[in-house]
Structure formats: C-alpha cells, structure tokens
Amino acid sequence: MFLFFALRCDYLGRMIRPEQLLAPTADGLFCPLGGFHIDPVRPVERALITHGHGDHARSGHDRVLATAETLRIMAARYGEDFANGGTPAKLGEAMRIGDVTVSFHPAGHVLGSAQIAVEAEGCRIVVSGDYKRRRDPTCLPFEPVACDVFITEATFGLPVFRHPDDGVEIHKLLTSLKDFPERTHLVGAYALGKAQRIICRLREEGYREPIYIHGALEKLCRLYEEEGIDLGELLPATLDAGSKTDFAGAIVVCPPSAFSDRWARRFPDPLPCFASGWMAIRQRAKQRGVELPLIVSDHCDWQELTETIEEIAPGEVWVTHGREEALVRWCALSGIAARPLHMVGYEDEAE
Amino acid sequence: MPTLFTGQKRLFHSSEALTYTAMEKFAALLDRLILTPSRNGKLRLLEDYFRTTPDPDRGWALAALTGALDVPSVKPAMLRAMATERLDPVLFGYSYDYVGDLAETISLVWAPSPAASEGAAPSLSAVVEALFSASRSEGPKRVAAFLDALEPSSRWALLKLVTGGLRIGVSARLAKQALANFGAQEINAIEEIWHGLSPPYEPLFAWLDGHGERPVSAARAPFRPVMLAQPLEEGDRPAITPEVYAAEWKWDGIRVQAVSDGGVRRLYSRTGEDIGEAFPDVLEGLDIEGAIDGELLVGRSVDGRIEAGSFSELQQRLNRKSVTGKLVVSHPAFIRAYDCLVDGEEDVRALPFRHRRSRLERLVGRSLAGRVDLSPLLPYDHWDALAAQRLAPPAPIIEGVMLKRWDSPYEGGRPKGPWFKWKRDPFVIDAVLMYAQRGHGKRSSFYSDYTFGVWRQGEAGEELVPVGKAYFGFTDAELIEIDRFVRRHTTGRFGPVREVEHRPDLGLVFEVAFEGLNRSTRHRSGVAMRFPRIARLRWDKPPAEADRIEALEALLDAGDGGPAALRRARGAPV
C-alpha cells in the first residue's frame, strides 16, 4: 500500500511531490498552486478553515472558505466582519481553486468541523484539522478519506491516553450530583463544542433540570440550538437568577478558566469538575484543583489515532501538533513514513 | 470573623462504592483522596472506607496507607522492565516523562495479554498473599497476571499497593485519626497499641467495630501517648506561683519518647512513629530501664560531653531514614529528659510531677553513656523574675519556658491547666510581596500563597530577593484585600503563579513573623525561615522601607537566639 501511493505520487508521470502541494510555513499550511492557506495563524489573503476553535479560525483574513456552520461560529465569536468575504463550503463537494481541487469532509470534532482534502496531479493530501472518532450528538461523524498524505494532530498522541466511554463519565457527574445535592457542580468545558456536547449528553442520559451557563457560553449555545441541536432548558448562571442557594445541587457549565475567576465565588461550596482528555492524568487534575475529573475529549485517543492511520493507510503521515514524537515513533515501528511538521500556534485542548 | 474558608462542611458518601470490586473500591478511595483538598474530607473518605470494607482487605489498605506494607518480591525496576516487554521502550519513555509517576504510567499503557483468562478481579488480600509468597522471579509474573485482570484505575491502585510510597497526601497520622473517628476512640488509644500490631490488623478492627477487646500491646517497649502543653494566656498568669507550678526551659529540638524495656530500645516521635533508625547513637547510649519523655537535641562533643547545638544542626540529621557514621560523629544526638513515664518496670504516670521528677533524676543519674541528661528546673520567686529569665535565655536553642503543675499526673493529649508553654516572641521582619499563587479547595479562586522578599544590593542596584513563603496568618477579610491587590498589580503570569508589582514606591509590605532562620543552599537568598506567617499587612509602608537581607544575615550569625532587635522591637507579640 505504502509503495503504491509513493509511486502514484512521485513516479507515475505525475510530477508533483506532496511538499509542492502543501508546505508548512510560519503562517500555517500553504498551497502555492491554489494560493491559499489552511488554518493560518496570521491574517492572509485566502484562508480555508477546518473548524471554529480560536487557534484554527482567526479573524482578519481577506476571504474565508469554510463550512456554513464554521462561518457562523466565526461571525458569532469575532463579529460579522471577521473577514472581507466568507464562502460556505458544502461537505463532499469538489471545488476548483487555482490549479487544485479542494473538498471538505466531516471531522467529528465540533459542529461544522471538517477535514480539507487538497488534490492536484493525482496527489491528494487530507488536512484533518482536529478530529475524533467517537459518537458526538452535536456534530457529524468523521469520514475517512483515502489519500497519499494524511495530516493529523497528535494532541493525545501517547499510549497513556485511552478515553473511556463518555457515558461512563456523564454518569460519574450524575452520581456525584446525587451524592452531593448541596454542592454546585461547576463543570469546566471549552466554550465551543465540549460545553454543548456535555449538555447534550446529559440530556440524552435523562437529566431534565435546567442547566446554568456562564455568560461566555451563551452565544455559542444559542447558535447550536438554532442549528437544531436540542440543549434543553439553559439559564444564565447569574446571581439575579436567584439567591445563592438556588445553585445548590445544580450543574453550572463554564469555561475552565472561570474556576479561578472571582465569578466562581457566587456558588455555595462549588465542586470543580473538568471535562477534558487531560483529566486521565491524576496530577493534572490535582494541579488544577479539580475534584471530579471527567475524561471527555473532542480529540482521538492513542488507539483511535493509530487505528485511523491504519484505516486510511496513507503513503505518508505528517503530524501537526501535540505529542508528535510519539506518533511519529509509532509510525516508524509500523513501517509508515511519517514526519513532524513542528507547527506553532496550535494549542492543546482547552488547557 | 466569618468562617468562609475553614474546610469543607459537606462531606463525601461512598454509597456507589458498594457495587465495586475490592480493587476498584480501593482505587476509588485513592483517587478521591488525591483530589480532595480538605483534611476533613479525607478523614471522612477513610472512615467510610473502613466502615464499608470487610476484613482483611481494609487491613491491607491501612497497611499501604501507613507505609507498613513492603512486598519484597516486587520492586519498581522490575515493573518497568515488565512494562517495556509489552510496549516499545521509546514510547514507554515518552509516556513516563509525560505522566511522571511509574505506577500511573504502567497502569495506563498496560495492554492486557490476549492470552489472559477472563478471571474474576482479585481482592486486595488475594493480591497481597500471592505476592508475599512469591519469589523475586515469580513476583513480576504474578503482578502481570493481576494487571491483565484489572481495569486501568485498579491497575494503578494495585501497583501503588505493592510498591508502597502512595504519595496521595495522606500521612500515617491522618490514617490513624480516621481509625479513631471510625471507632469513636481517642487517637492516643490507637497510637499506644500501634507498634504491637501488624497487617491486616483484624483484632484492631474488631475492637473499633465494637465487638472485640482492645488489643493488648504484646510488644516490648511500647509507645505511650505524649502529654502536651497549652499555650499560656493572659488569664492564666495569676495561677502561676512557684508553689503550684514548676518551671523549666523549653528546648527547641524534637520531642521524643525513649523506651528501654528488657533489652528492647525504641525512640518514638510524639505521634508514635519509630524514629530509632535515624538515631542509632542515641539508642546505643540509652542505658536506662524505663520510659522517658524528653527533647532530642544534636550537639558537639566538648571534652567528652555533648553541648547542645542549634536547630539547624539538628536538621542535618532529620528526615533521613538511616544515618552515616560520619554524621553520627560530627552531629551527635542526645536526649534532654523532661519526665519519667516508666521507672524500671513500674508505670509511674499516675504519680504527681514532683515524684516523677525525682524518679527521673535517679534514672538519668545512673546513665553512664552520656546520651541522656536532665532538663534543669528553673527556680523563680515570683512572676516577674520568671518573665525576666524568659527574655534572657542562656542558650540559643531555648524557645521559651514550660510550666508544669507539681501535682499533675502524666496524661496523654493536651489537657487544659496542668502544663503551659510560654514561648519566646517570634522574630518579625517587613518584607515585600513578590509572587502570589492560587490556593486550593475553598481558596482556589483566591491568590493566597505569598512569596515575599527583602532588599539587597544586586549587580544592577537595589533588588528584592525572595526569603520565604507563607499562606496563613491573615484574616478572611484581609485575604480578599490582598487578592484584589494581586489581581490589580499583576506584572507576569507563570501557570498558577502571578508576579506582583514590587517596586520601591509600589507594592505590598507584609510584617512576617517566624520562629527561626536556617542557612539554605536551595534558596537564592541563602536563608530559609521556620514557620513563617503573615502577622500584619503594612498598607501604610512603602516597599522601599522594608527590611534588608543584612538584618536576616545578622540573625544567622547570632544563631537561633538572634538579636533581640528583630524580636520584640516591633511591639505586639503575634
């Protein structure tokens, strides 16, 4: 398989090498034949965006191509004028940009998240952005796309990361609510994607009480609801919603950084919970003062990363950010050509 | 004062734990202990565990928690070797670097062998029994088989259990306190018998459950609960007369109980931990028969006698599990005796202090090895004379005066009235807040841990050098004010730490109280404070007027007694 793709790219009369199709630059991945960047970290003329998280979707580009949902998310975060022009990309539809063909495919990371396939002269590269393989009721599932070069993240690219089933984690939270009905369960979750997924999963598991949300989550939760994702009854976690005791036994969802804000002092005896893949490591949880770690991630764990590479069977793997060295090592042991791109500007999940 | 931050009133239940397997339950206990910041919360978790876990599993768990479990057939290096048989060593290395804890790394990366049988998850006692009976070559194989049968979090608990060193923020003392709470007994009653007990402690639990007699300590040289003093308060003074209270110096070493009983000699800390291994010279020289209460001091040999050194010299010998011959010679240790608990075979604790004192004098007088001497009594005519002596102690290692009723029996614990401690005033300096770190638990949204510094002449002019760290001494209201100051004057952020404005004209000055000063190579300033706390906030004082490092260096040069200027010059004691 490896040989076949290597030949297909380099030798069968098609003269383009992958590095000529997409090159890592200080601004992000750049496609010279199409004249565009993918997830650029600085303002550029033409940007293709995989998903709405701040480190991938920045404001100030001239023209942006992204899924309709991602464009909406960017507008909600940065204002309608986040770019001079935004074009919605339809999933699975091939588009011609300059001398290359581009298509968007679901990545399963957050609402609107997409992988971007770039193809020219028979060589296809898939930029997966951030992705996961688990079911998530708030977004479309990841679709594997055959390619010569698969560009992957490695946020949880170490064998120590094996995310448990999210149902187990949601039940940890529900059990704790029963055990400590007097404590406010303060759930730290990244404002885009994780927060809505947690809320949605709580509803699926039968939790019907109102869920209180931090002000920073309001716009995005409303946007998810308008996209047809039912989040149940959400109330602002502000004091005028009631006196201090009203939050006893309630779930309050907030950005992780809000734990240490003065904002958190309004709750009686808060029980800090944190929904993140990092919570698999005990000392991480302890350092952050988390009492109830919820191991829920919007990224692949080690097994899913390696199985995805085996399933797609690309000729070559490029690793953008995270624990690159370990994933590259695994590829070497498995006889798959791989290299780290040493991209800067992309953050680890919600740290 | 509002009680906003005095620990958690809401406690944990563990009803859901009932459906867990034994190892899962132990794992859940360890997990929650790690993540529960409050002492009361931890106690409640332990009590619940002891209440709901059957013998002998709870006994093995207790042994692991108190460090009493040592499985000789399993050592960390073997575990690592075992893990890298199943995972590429390079990937294992990356993982271990990232996680930082061997047991946790192995538990997470462990891939069960496909050949592993789907056996039932083993209980704690099954694990311990299998590994105790294993040889060094069999040990790792049996561990591997257990790991195959367990979930990651149980694997972690198992590895912690067999390697010891749990590092989960629970001391042996805390575990004993939880036992006491669980059995509605005094912790003294447990400490007293602890050294005669061994895992899995079934007689102990039977007694605490209420259907067994209190185990009788069969061991020679048992520990007896130590009697402690209350701090002397203003209102107690009228009672202090030479007829009623004896006075003696309070020595600044470690309080110990030394027992010599039919050839068995033991040295206990005041909480009943056996610390004999670190002081072989003292045990060797314990040529008495009985049990005495005293202060362990370290000194220098002068003409065959030992003279008491400073607390810093004592520290050279603390926190070492065993001790080198060289250190024993350069820093000989001895006991300055306060009291007699057992004279020969006779328990004299019920006798009045006056009689015990003469027993003590006789007992110590017969010792020839020179490792035990008497803490002298301090004659005084009236209060003022005693107060004057307290202000001018004859040795720097003295940290105040002890007052003991002549008629007091020796009772474990801290009874109010028979004994008082009247400590010297602390040292105080004015230091400038430099860094603040967020607290834990109830304080997690407050910057409550402070690093402070004093001025010195640096290469580029006057600069502040950190001299200590403190996280208490202030009121809740003051904490809110300091927190506000930190947030408004942040100049840098490093994870949970904020750097705070500390210029000559802008910054916050703390009056810091502390008990003593040691030289330290670990701190940039070269000094380390003992027991520092924030005594007062000096909003009125510009940072330029805070103290200089020279003031602390003078204190070091003068020994622990220190220049009186740093002690009382600033008025009110803290």
* Cα A138 versus chain centre, distance: 12
In this predicted model, what pLDDT tens digit does every residue of B88-137 receive, in sequence order? 999 999 999 888 888 999 999 998 777 665 567 788 888 888 888 888 88
A224: confidence class by pLDDT, cuts 50, 70, 90 = very high
- Which of A260, A279, A282 is the best residue to mutate to test the B interface, defined by the most B CB atoms within 10 Å of its own CB? A282
Decide if A173 contacts A185 (C-beta within 8 A): yes
Q: Is the pLDDT of residue B441 over 70?
A: no
Give percent above pLDDT 70 in chain B: 90
CB-based contact (8 Å) between B496 and chain A? Answer: yes
Which among A175, A260, A293 is the nearest to B444, CB-wise? A260
**Is the dihedral angle over the CA atoms B391, B394, B399, B405 positive or is it negative?**
negative
What does the DSSP 8-state code read for residue B134?
A: -
- Tell me how close the Cα of B460 comes to any Cα of chain A, in angstroms: 35
Report the residue from B35, B94, B104 with minimal CB separation from A326.
B94
- Strand A46-48, strand A36-38: pairing: parallel
Residue B19 lies in a domain: yes
Interface check for A329 against chain B (CB to CB < 8 A): the answer is: yes
- Residue in A with minimal Cα distance to B34: A286
pLDDT at A97 over 90: yes
Distance from the Cα of A187 to chain B's closest Cα (Å) equals 15
Is the N-terminal amide bond of B200 cis, ω within 30° of 0?
A: yes
Helix, strand, coil abundance in chain B, percent, nearest 5: 35, 25, 40
Among B129, B163, B197, identify where a domain stops.
Answer: B163
The CATH number fitting domain A2-160+299-340, selected from 1.10.3720.10, 3.20.20.140, 3.40.50.700, 3.60.15.10: 3.60.15.10
Say if residues B511 and B542 touch (Cβ distance below 8 Å): no
Q: Which of B35, B87, B445 sits opposite A286 (nearest CB)?
A: B35
Q: What is the pLDDT of residue A7?
A: 45
User: Any idea what the CATH number is for the domain that residue B245 is in?
Assistant: 3.30.470.30
Which chain A residues are Cβ-neighbours of B438 within 8 angstroms? 260, 289
Selected for mutation to probe chain B from A158, A173, A261, A273 (highest B CB count within 10 Å) is: A158
Residues of B in contact with A260 (CB under 8 A): 438, 444-445, 496
> In B178-323, which ranges are E strands?
230-231, 245-251, 254-261, 264-269, 290-302, 305-308
A342's tokens: 């040493």
Contact by Cβ (8 Å): B567, B427:
yes
- A129-161 residue pLDDT tens: 999 999 999 999 999 999 999 999 999 999 999
CB distance A272–B444 less than 8 Å?
Answer: yes
Cα B327 from Cα A284, distance rounded (Å):
39
Mean pLDDT of A201-210: 96
CA B333, CA B327: separation in Å to the nearest integer? 10
**A197 vs A324, which has greater pLDDT?**
A197
Last residue of a domain, one of B423, B447, B466: B423
Is B253 inside a domain boundary? yes
Q: How confident is the model at residue B322 (pLDDT cuts 50, 70, 90)?
A: low
The burial class, CB within 10 Å (0-12 / 13-18 / 19+), for B423 is middle
Q: Same domain, yes or no, for B433 and B502? A: yes
Whether B8 has its CB under 8 Å from any CB of chain A: the answer is: yes
Asked if the structure places residue B122 within a domain, the reply is yes
CATH of the domain at B432: 2.40.50.140
C-beta atoms of B12 and A183 within 8 A? no
HEC string of A43-56 equals: CCCEEECCCCCCCC
Residue B20 — very low, low, confident or very high, per pLDDT cuts 50/70/90? low
Where do the structural domains in chain A lie, given as residue ranges?
Answer: 2-160+299-340, 166-294
| Nearest residue on chain B to A290, alpha-carbon basis | B35
The predicted pLDDT at position B40 comes to 87
In a shared domain, residues B179 and B52:
yes
* Tokens, residue A143: 């679709």
Q: What is the pLDDT of residue B118?
A: 59
Strands A149-154 and A316-322: parallel
**pLDDT per residue as tens digits for the range A1-25:** 444 444 444 444 556 899 999 999 9
Whether the pLDDT of residue B333 is over 60: the answer is: yes
**What is the predicted pLDDT for the residue at B559?**
55
Interface mutation target, options B5, B52, B98, B486, chain A, most CBs of A under 10 Å: B98
Helices and strands in chain B, H and E counts: 20, 20
**Does residue B275 share a domain with residue B389?**
yes
Same domain, B330 and B397: yes
Total domains present in chain B: 4
Residues of A in contact with B92 (CB under 8 A): 159
Min Cα–Cα distance to chain A from B45, Å: 13
Residues 6+ apart with CB under 8 A from B409: B349, B350, B351, B352, B353, B418
Domain endpoint, select from B392, B423, B454: B423
**Angle at which helices B152-163 and B102-109 cross, to 10°:** 150
Do B292 and B323 lie in a common domain? yes
Task: Establish how many alpha carbons lie within 13 A of residue A106's alpha carbon, considering only the half-sphere containing its beta carbon.
Answer: 14
Give the span between the Cα atoms of B480 and A128, in whole angstroms: 47
**Does residue B156 share a domain with residue B103?**
yes
Q: Searching chain B, which residue's CA lies closest to the CA of residue A270?
A: B442
Residue B182 lies in a domain: yes
Closest Cα of chain A to B445: distance in Å?
4
Q: What is the pLDDT of residue B13?
A: 36
Asked whether the beta carbons of residue B12 and residue A180 sit closer than 8 angstroms, the reply is yes
| Range with top average pLDDT, A198-207, A268-277, B140-149 | A198-207
- Distance from C-alpha of B161 to C-alpha of A18, rounded to nearest angstrom: 52
Q: Which residues contact B99 (CB under 8 A, 6 or more apart)?
A: A160, A281, A283, B105, B108
CA distance B436 to B450: 5
Domain A166-294, CATH among 3.40.50.12650, 3.90.1010.10, 1.10.1040.10, 1.10.3720.10: 3.40.50.12650
Does any CB of chain A come closer than 8 Å to the CB of residue B31?
Answer: yes
Query: Chain A: residue nearest B156 by CA?
Result: A282
- Pick the residue from chain A with its C-alpha nearest to B167: A283
Token pair 């069960």 is at which residue? B112
Give residues with Cβ within 8 angstroms of B204, minimum separation 6: B59, B179, B190, B193, B197, B215
Residue A206, pLDDT score:
95
The domain in which residue B21 lies consists of 15-69+169-209
Beta bridge partners of A89: A67
The residue ranking higher by pLDDT, A100 or B22, is A100
Residue of A nearest to B87 (CA): A159
Task: Say if residue B316 is in the same domain as residue B202.
Answer: no
Q: Using the 8-state DSSP alphabet, how is residue B167 labeled?
A: -
